[in-house]
Structure 1
Amino acid sequence: MKYAIIMIITLAVIAMVNLAMASLFQISFLDASFLVGLFAAVILYYVNSSNNPFTKSIDADIQSETGIKVQTKRGHFTRGVSFYAALTYLAGAAIITLVVYWDLFF
């Protein structure tokens, strides 16, 4: 139940960002959906990885304050429900875009 709620909230947030981008650039919701879904998936992948600049910055702050070197793991990515929701949004947007613009693609 908890994962379903997180997935619904993530999809709703991505859809709201998509609506905002579509109205900001005055394009259709469908035209912006693939790029917004791709952007959300990349951002969530980057944030959920343990080898990103934010994590390295926190480790450097801890090391400078304590003088103890922080042991780091090799790049580790945690797949969460929000990442899978972004992939679901991206796949849905890609399929709908392909169906709607089929004549332009082929």
Structure 2
Amino acid sequence: MSEGTFRVMLRMQIIPGKEADFERTWLGIGDVITEHPANRGQWLMRGAEEESVYYIISDWVDEPRFREFETSAEHLEHRTKLHPYRSGGSMTTMTVVAHLAGSAVGAAR
């Protein structure tokens, strides 16, 4: 990740009992995003404090390229496949200003 990266964070409330199906679907269709030439990667995280809440972080080379993808037919199809699992959500966008790597980066796991 580098400074200037455009980051998108989604908060998704999943219908209780649909979490495993959501995770499986998300993993199965993720390449729609990661294969886009402007995408730098994405992460799926389950919230620790709220049941059935997930966060998705997606990094992009810049905002215009993300917005181009956001309005594409591929993105609409991607959202359609995830929609049956959602009961709510929100999106936050930001630009990475700086990154300080921790000492555990590169350490054996």
Give the TM bin, normalised by the shorter chain.
Answer: under 0.3
Higher relative contact order (CA 8 A, sep 6+): 2
Q: TM-score if structure 1 supplies the norm length?
A: 0.24
Higher strand share: 2
Larger Rg: 1
Q: TM-score if structure 2 supplies the norm length?
A: 0.24
Higher helix share: 1
